[in-house]
Amino acid sequence: MTAVRREAFGRMPPEEGGGEVEKFVLQSDSVKVEILSLGCIIAALETKDRDGKFSDVVLGFDNLEGYTRKHPFFGAVVGRVANRIGKGRFTVDGKEYQLFLNNGPNSLHGGAKGFDKVLWSPQVLPDGVRFFRLSPDSEEGYPGDLKVWVTYTLSGGKLAINYQAQTSKKTPISLTNHAYFNLAGQGSQDVYDHEVSIEADSYLPVDDTKIPTGEVAAVQGTEFDLRQPVELGKHLQKFHLDGFDHNFCLQQVQSPRLVARVCHPPTGRTMEVHTTQPGIQFYTGNNLDGSLKGKGANTYPKHSALCLETQNWPDAVNKPHFPNVLLQPGEEYNHTTWLVFNTA
């Protein structure tokens, strides 16, 4: 059984429109997850190690103030379009749209005030919580009134995140959750002792602004071949890598499948990622620099967490040969990702 409770978490600052932020606590016998109505943020996720000891395995803040300041999307749902859009520009039906540039020459994770920075309307479910918001036409430069629902449900060790959307005009959409994981427990200094595997035969090479070049490259014989588990620290060292921030191309099928697995041998904690999405961005916290004070006054240095963001391919709106990212009126965007926590 999953217990669900709601509690107050704070008020938004007046310049952000005020408004109550609530926290929803979902708890099973093996997982406890805390989710905010601000940005649908996963603020905490506690899971057992092989000795039955619970630890919080996601980065974040103890209070609302941390989340209202600038931070690297800890735990948030990002959109309308996750990841980068080159030069923040795209054309739909002959009309060009210009987005806010918040990542060098590109637009990242929805722009200046994306889905991560707004309050959502919650509805408690027997085993979780559903959030809704209407993103109005031309918000952050995107076309169409977009209705969006994000639903978190917990069953045993399995956390499901479902994304649904409907639009009044043709618009690009790609939603993901941007949780930063450290299976040793948040506040641990690095993820070098984590073993990672990703079920992908190809990946997207990027230019120096992290926009895909358009090539879909085979992982075979490269540092991107993660089809067998690698110990992250040794793998980065072996290939002289600064870290990963790349889209891995998943099988183009609509059905849910296992796409990634992370194991932390010292504690026995494992996390599997299953999804219906066509891509997964593997990011190793390369831009974390220890300047943010997180939960329990911990600082988060470089490589102190990893992200596995299930989503459409970056800049797909400008790359016709990438999976379709455009939602039409009358259609429904509907994707689910499952995070399965266990011990080995």
In this predicted model, what pLDDT tens digit does every residue of 182-199 receive, in sequence order?
Answer: 999 999 999 999 999 999
Identify the pLDDT of residue 253.
Answer: 84
Identify the pLDDT of residue 182.
Answer: 98
In this predicted model, what pLDDT tens digit does every residue of 293-326 receive, in sequence order?
Answer: 999 999 999 999 999 999 999 999 999 999 999 9
What distance in Å separates the CA atoms of residue 156 and residue 176, rounded to the nearest whole number? 22
Average pLDDT over residues 320-333: 98
Domain that holds residue 161: 3-343
Identify the pLDDT of residue 248.
Answer: 98
In this predicted model, what pLDDT tens digit does every residue of 48-85 receive, in sequence order?
Answer: 999 999 999 999 999 999 999 999 999 999 999 999 99
In contact, 204 and 311? CB cutoff 8 Å:
no
Which residues have a catalytic role annotated?
178, 309
In contact, 78 and 176? CB cutoff 8 Å:
yes
Identify the pLDDT of residue 79.
Answer: 97
194 is in an annotated binding site: no
What distance in Å separates the CA atoms of residue 27 and residue 1, rounded to the nearest whole number? 8
Identify the pLDDT of residue 288.
Answer: 98
Residue that has been written with the tokens 């796409």 in this structure:
259
Report the first-to-last Cα separation within the chain, whole angstroms: 23
Cα–Cα distances in angstroms (integers) from residue 48 to residues 181, 321, 326, 337, in the given order: 14, 42, 40, 21
179 is in an annotated binding site: yes
CATH number at residue 297: 2.70.98.10
Q: What is the mean pLDDT of the chain?
A: 97
Residue that has been written with the tokens 């010292």 in this structure:
266
Identify the pLDDT of residue 138.
Answer: 97
CA angle 185, 66, 196 (to 5 degrees): 30
180 is in an annotated binding site: yes
If 0-12 CB within 10 Å is exposed, 13-18 middle and 19+ buried, where does residue 89 land? middle
Identify the pLDDT of residue 252.
Answer: 86
In the predicted model, is pLDDT for residue 17 greater than 90?
no
In this predicted model, what pLDDT tens digit does every residue of 88-135 receive, in sequence order?
Answer: 999 999 999 999 999 999 999 999 999 999 999 999 999 999 999 999
What distance in Å separates the CA atoms of residue 104 and residue 126, rounded to the nearest whole number? 43
The structural domain count of the chain equals 1
In the predicted model, is pLDDT for residue 39 greater than 90?
yes
In this predicted model, what pLDDT tens digit does every residue of 236-269 receive, in sequence order?
Answer: 999 999 999 999 999 988 889 999 999 999 999 9
Lowest mean pLDDT among 150-159, 194-203, 247-256, 326-335: 247-256
112 is in an annotated binding site: no
Identify the pLDDT of residue 254.
Answer: 80
